[in-house]
């Protein structure tokens, strides 16, 4: 009993100090409480209390609340799109491996050259696995890919390719050679000056018209190229920021001990510069990951596209909110993990 | 010295654009499809009843059925299709660049598309038109009473223009509320942000099924635009165009002659020369089209006649519960009319 009172007293003291210290603070506390109650309970009711979990569409419509049955019915389509059902284990494997890489990336002990290589090589190996077309694995054309694997593919191949490209462009922009410098500046400014959508449209609408009739390049590849072009320009500016933060003394010291350009950059400048720019780098990566959803405009069935298409089934019309919640959750999980990994790397590096 | 070399080489690197233009193979689509072994169709990426992936990722709908009919006529197998979901902006490029063989994407047949866009339209497989939906409680019974109304419209497409034209024609004012996603537009309408919601009638019907109380909403009788939706192929593809046209006609003729997927085998023994000609008992049609004599038989057997496809996808038995209306046979007061198959 006494212990309870002690605790109670402490709680009252704490809240007086932190929540009700003055009239303004009291007012804000009360307003926030009201806001929370007003939003939390209806949301809870909708999402949990009154939700339907395993019903038909009709039952969902008759009751209120969220219709999670819709997700149950459509999850497979949303996640994998038109990827053939019998081959979907490959897509599952692809997704799980990316998860695993993220998960392993959290542990300091496992950091090694091998893990970095795995991260760099895996998107391509995974692509090969998903595509098949060699003995033992049936060919699944890229046009048939969809859902989460496509989103992950566009994002991770995009990241892995645009990172080194961005570094090269940044070095190019800082270069004293006029042609390289001019080309880099032009490229970066041009790409940054137009929205991603217009690049995607160029790739998907204009580009095929230039090709001879009947010759087509996979839409996925065209979109992938557009994503890489776009994010490498942004990456370049991020890296350039890091390069500028390195004091002149570092360059001079490197020169003084007789290092050439490659060695100066590779051994002295870049390792420091890239470390400084980890937060904006991850920012760009997360941005790229989310930007992949724009490919729905050119009818690639990425995660958002399959989510939207699943709303249109005549038997399951009208559950878009549930669908968007599901898609948002998946996006959040991946972006959160990306943030975590970068945070771990940062804390390790600054030790 | 070294940097001089780099400077020189980088200055010499000039981008070279090589666009090799092969002679255009107009008219060879038909041969190419036969060689490839499947038909590539472009459909809408999600339009209830017309083309929509089901939970298993399989495309269904009235537009997809037309595509299946082409495959049935060509290969005797309705599964030999490759469907790509296309956005409105992309559809014509996809056809012109040869990414698809035929566009069966609820595309309105218009003069400019038939000419400058370079399409050839097959017979209409669905007559649609833009209409209005209002809340029953509003008491509005006719679109002409919508003076000063706020109208929820889905951005882009011709919908916006049709509304503006309609209100101008009747010299009424209106307040457009335009949104990017059709989901959003409809939700706004149901929430009462506007007095009326407009899109094609088939779309209105589809939306209405999602409501808790569908009967609280009515679709007004006025149809303010003509939207004949038809499959389309490229200019200069005559052989392929013929097959596309007659596949649609075969489905309509079959309904007219009372041939369904269920009774088609029995019908082969019918004495009616029209039926015998359509089903290839009397030979000649197949040869003329460059396919097997059982082309129409295959379509009816594997896909069904037009009425069956309509009922299955958008008709009274489907969730959309659309009436035949203009899409009934000409003998039943509609516009569906096929020239003689002979």
Residue B103 has pLDDT above 70, yes or no: yes
The two three-digit tokens of residue B194, written as one number: 């506007």
Q: Which of B84, B207, B319 is nearest residue A299 as measured by Cβ atoms?
A: B84
Domains of chain B with CATH codes: 29-127+229-322 (3.40.190.10), 130-225 (3.40.190.10)
> Please, which residues bridge with residue A321 across strands?
none
Tell if the CB–CB gap between B45 and A313 is shorter than 8 Å.
no
For residue B90, the chain A residues in CB contact (below 8 A) are 204-205, 298-299
Cβ-nearest to A312 among B3, B25, B47: B47
Instruction: Say whether pLDDT at B26 is over 90.
Output: no
Contact call for B25 and A297, based on CB within 8 A: no
For B46, the closest of A146, A178, A309 (CB atoms) is: A309
Q: Check if A198 contacts B (Cβ < 8 Å).
A: no
Mutation target for B interface from A50, A261, A299, A305: give the one with most B CBs within 10 A: A299
Would the ipTM clear 0.90, i.e. be above it?
no
Of the candidates B150, B142, B242, B139, the residue with the CA atom closest to the CA atom of residue B196: B150
Instruction: Determine the distance in angstroms separating the CA of B95 from the nearest CA of chain A, rounded to an integer.
Output: 10
Model pTM score: 0.82
- 3-class DSSP assignment, residue B200: strand
- pLDDT tens track for B285-324: 999 999 999 999 999 999 999 999 999 999 988 888 888 9
pLDDT band at residue B156, thresholds of 50, 70 and 90? low
B128 φ, ψ (degrees, to nearest 5): -115, 175
Q: What are the residue boundaries of the structural domains of chain A, listed by start? A: 77-349
pLDDT of B158 above 60: yes
Q: What is the DSSP string of A255-271?
A: HHTT--HHHIIIIIIHH
Instruction: Give the pLDDT of chain A (351 residues) as one tens digit per residue.
Output: 677 888 888 888 888 888 888 889 899 999 999 999 899 888 888 888 888 888 888 888 887 788 899 999 999 999 998 888 888 889 899 888 888 888 887 777 877 888 888 888 888 888 888 888 888 788 888 878 889 999 999 998 999 999 999 999 999 999 889 999 999 999 999 999 999 989 988 887 778 777 776 677 788 888 999 999 999 999 999 999 999 999 999 999 999 999 989 999 999 999 999 989 999 999 999 999 999 999 887 778 899 999 988 988 888 888 888 999 999 999 999 999 888 888 888 888 777
- Measuring CA to CA, which residue among A153, A100, A144 is closest to residue A123? A153
Is A179 an interface residue toward B (CB < 8 Å)? Answer: yes
Q: Does A145 touch chain B if contact means CB atoms closer than 8 Å? A: no
Chain A interface disruption, residue of B7, B40, B55, most A CBs within 10 A: B55
Q: Which residue of chain A is at minimal alpha-carbon distance from B181?
A: A308
Of A76, A180, A308, the CB nearest to B46: A308
pLDDT digits (tens, 9 = 90+) for B228-278: 999 999 998 899 999 999 999 999 999 999 999 999 999 999 999 999 999
CB count in 10 Å sphere of residue A252: 10
Query: How many Å apart are CA B296 and CA B41, to the nearest integer?
Result: 19
pLDDT band (50, 70, 90) for residue B335: very high
CA distance A153 to chain B (A): 20
Banded pLDDT at B3 (limits 50, 70, 90): very low
Question: What pLDDT digit, counting tens, does each position of A150-162 carry?
Answer: 999 999 899 999 9
CA distances from A191 to A115, A187, A224, A239, B239 (A): 32, 6, 15, 16, 44
CA angle B47, B51, B57 (to 5 degrees): 110
Query: Which of B14, B54, B57, B101 is the mutation pick for testing A, counting most A CBs within 10 A?
Result: B57
Q: Which residue of A has its CA nearest to B99?
A: A216
Question: Chain A, 267-326: which have a CB under 8 Å from a chain B CB?
Answer: 297-299, 301, 305-306, 308-318, 320
Among B19, B24, B183, whose Cβ lies nearest the Cβ of A213? Answer: B24
Q: What is the pLDDT of residues A283-308, one digit of tens each?
A: 999 999 999 999 887 778 899 999 98
Residue of A nearest to B314 (CA): A314
Q: Which two tokens stand for residue A7?
A: 């605790």
The fold for domain A77-349 equals MetI-like fold (1.10.3720)
Residue that has been written with the tokens 């400084």 in this structure? A276
Q: Does B79 score more than 90 pLDDT?
A: yes
- Cα–Cα nearest to A341, from A154, A108, A158: A108
CB contact under 8 A, B84 and A143: yes
């Amino acid at each position: 009993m006494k212990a309870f009172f002690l605790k109670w007293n402490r709680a009252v003291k704490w809240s007086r100090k932190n929540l009700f210290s003055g009239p303004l603070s009291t007012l804000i506390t009360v307003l926030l409480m009201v806001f929370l109650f007003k939003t939390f309970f209806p949301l809870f009711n909708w999402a949990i209390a009154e939700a339907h979990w395993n019903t038909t569409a009709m039952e969902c419509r008759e009751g209120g609340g969220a219709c999670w049955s819709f997700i149950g019915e459509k999850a497979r389509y949303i996640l994998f799109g038109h990827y053939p059902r019998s081959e979907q284990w490959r897509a599952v494997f692809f997704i799980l491996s990316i998860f695993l890489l993220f998960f392993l990336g959290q542990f300091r002990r496992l950091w090694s050259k091998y893990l970095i290589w795995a991260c760099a090589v895996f998107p391509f190996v995974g692509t090969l696995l998903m595509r098949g077309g060699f003995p033992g694995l049936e060919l699944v054309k890229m046009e048939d890919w969809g859902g989460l694997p496509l989103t992950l593919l566009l994002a991770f191949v995009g990241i892995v390719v645009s990172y080194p490209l961005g570094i090269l462009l940044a070095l190019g922009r800082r270069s004293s050679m006029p042609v390289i410098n001019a080309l880099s500046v032009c490229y970066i400014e041009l790409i940054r000056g137009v929205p991603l959508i217009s690049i995607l449209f160029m790739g998907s609408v204009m580009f095929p018209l230039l090709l001879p009739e009947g010759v087509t390049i996979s839409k996925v590849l065209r979109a992938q190229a557009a994503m890489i072009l776009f994010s490498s320009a942004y990456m370049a500016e991020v890296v350039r920021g890091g390069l500028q933060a390195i004091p002149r003394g570092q360059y001079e010291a490197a020169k003084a001990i007789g290092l050439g350009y490659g060695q100066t950059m590779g051994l002295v400048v870049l390792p420091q510069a890239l470390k400084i720019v980890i937060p904006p780098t991850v920012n760009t990566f997360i941005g790229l990951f989310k930007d992949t959803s724009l490919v729905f405009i050119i009818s690639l069935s990425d995660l958002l596209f399959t989510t939207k298409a699943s709303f249109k089934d005549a038997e399951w019309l009208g559950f878009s909110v549930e669908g968007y919640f599901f898609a948002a959750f998946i996006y959040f999980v991946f972006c959160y993990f990306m943030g975590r990994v970068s945070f771990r790397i940062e804390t390790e590096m600054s030790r | 010295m070294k940097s001089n070399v780099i400077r020189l080489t980088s200055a010499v690197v000039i981008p070279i654009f090589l666009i090799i233009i092969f002679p255009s193979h107009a008219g060879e689509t038909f041969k190419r499809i036969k060689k490839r072994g499947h038909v590539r169709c472009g459909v809408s990426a999600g339009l209830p009843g017309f083309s929509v992936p089901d939970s298993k990722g399989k495309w269904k709908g009235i537009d997809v059925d037309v595509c299946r009919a082409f495959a049935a006529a060509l290969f005797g197998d309705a599964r030999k299709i490759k469907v790509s979901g296309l956005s409105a902006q992309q559809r014509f490029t996809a056809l012109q660049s040869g990414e698809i063989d035929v566009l069966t994407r609820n595309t309105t047949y218009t003069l400019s598309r038939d000419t400058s866009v370079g399409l050839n339209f097959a017979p209409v497989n669905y007559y649609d038109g833009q209409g209005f939906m209002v809340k029953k409680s509003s008491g509005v019974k006719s679109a002409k009473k919508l003076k000063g109304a706020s109208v929820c419209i889905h951005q882009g497409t011709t919908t916006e223009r049709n509304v503006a034209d309609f209100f101008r024609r009747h010299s009424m004012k209106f307040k457009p509320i335009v949104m990017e996603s059709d989901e959003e537009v409809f939700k706004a309408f149901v929430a009462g942000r506007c007095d009326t919601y407009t899109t094609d009638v088939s779309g209105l019907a589809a939306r209405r099924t999602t409501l808790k109380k569908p009967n609280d909403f009515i679709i007004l009788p006025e149809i303010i635009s003509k939207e004949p939706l038809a499959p389309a192929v490229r200019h200069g593809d005559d052989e392929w165009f013929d097959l596309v046209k007659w596949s649609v006609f075969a489905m309509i003729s079959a309904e007219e002659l009372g041939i369904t997927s269920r009774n088609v085998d029995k019908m082969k023994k019918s004495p009616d020369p029209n039926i015998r000609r359509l089903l290839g008992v009397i030979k000649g049609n197949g040869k003329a089209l460059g396919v097997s004599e059982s082309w129409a038989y295959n379509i009816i057997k594997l896909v069904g006649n037009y009425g069956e496809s309509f009922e299955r996808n958008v008709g009274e038995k489907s969730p959309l519960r659309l009436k035949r209306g203009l899409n009934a046979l000409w003998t039943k007061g509609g516009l569906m009319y096929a020239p003689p198959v002979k």
